[in-house]
Amino acid sequence: MGSVPTTGDRWRSLARVTGVIGLVSVVVLFGPVIAISTVGEPPFDATSEEAAEFFGKLDVGWAHAAEAGASLGILAFLWFVVGLTTMLRRVEGEPAWRSTVALVSGTVVAAYGVLDASWDAGANRGTGINPAIAAYAFDVGNLGFANSWLALGSFAIAVGWIIRDSRVIPAWWGWWAIVSGLGLVAVRFVWEGWIWTLPYFVFWVWVIALAIRLIRRPDLGSVTV
């Protein structure tokens, strides 16, 4: 008979699985996003005609598959959120309100990614879409995406706050998350242009780095404070 895993073994296993899922979520999410961007995605303030032309280019099989793949990627991110906040709840102790905020915030992000089908609907009509309707679908998708930064920022701030206070891993991991989270909240108010990409990029690099750390050093969930 094999040995029964100890509690510490289970938490370390959760950390490794969470790290792997985090890396998979980034690949599955951004692979389709990058592919779709190659067709010539217009800026946030695109005209009605530009939006209609964009959706016309997306009315192909691979683009529809990419849109579904991006939704799958954001669902994988939800798995990462659940695993990470489960470990942080143990680290935070009771009342574990910040880990709960992080879990709910991450769930909101995932819900947006799966349920917002405005771009899917626009691409489904292809070249036959009315330019005014195309502009509406395009704007709904972009504004929903911009609003998701608030939830993503809330998730990052809550997670970073726990890490900074608990010191179960070096505090700079927490500050990294907090800074990216505050940046994501701030850029919602200046969402047009390119400035939003800075905190957005910093956040996802943090996700990748933390996922790698969880795989290589799965000590986060096995330590309590």
Q: What is the pLDDT of residue 224?
A: 54
> Does residue 4 register a pLDDT over 50?
no
> Does residue 2 register a pLDDT over 50?
no
The CA-CA-CA angle for residues 125, 112, 142, to 5°, reads 60
The 10s digit of each residue's pLDDT in 76-91 is 999 999 999 999 999 8
Q: What is the pLDDT of residue 123?
A: 79
> Does residue 1 register a pLDDT over 50?
no
Using DSSP, state whether 19 is helix, strand or coil.
Answer: helix
User: What confidence category does residue 9 fall into, taking pLDDT thresholds of 50, 70 and 90?
Assistant: confident
Q: What is the pLDDT of residue 73?
A: 93
Tell me the one-letter amino acid at 144.
G
> Does residue 63 register a pLDDT over 70?
yes
Mean pLDDT of the region 173-189 = 96
> Does residue 225 register a pLDDT over 80?
no
> Does residue 140 register a pLDDT over 60?
yes
Tell me the one-letter amino acid at 12.
R
Which residue would you say has higher pLDDT here, 24 or 217? 24
The 10s digit of each residue's pLDDT in 183-198 is 999 999 987 778 899 9
The Cα 211–Cα 22 span in angstroms is: 6
Tokens 């771009």 locate to 119
The Cα 159–Cα 199 span in angstroms is: 16
pTM: 0.89
> Does residue 139 register a pLDDT over 50?
yes
Tokens 């995932």 locate to 110
Within the chain, strands assigned E span none
Query: Which residues have a Cβ under 8 Å from the Cβ of 187 and sit 6 or more positions away?
Result: 149, 195, 196, 198, 199, 200
Report helix angle 131-166 to 171-187, nearest 10.
150
Mean pLDDT of the region 173-192 = 93
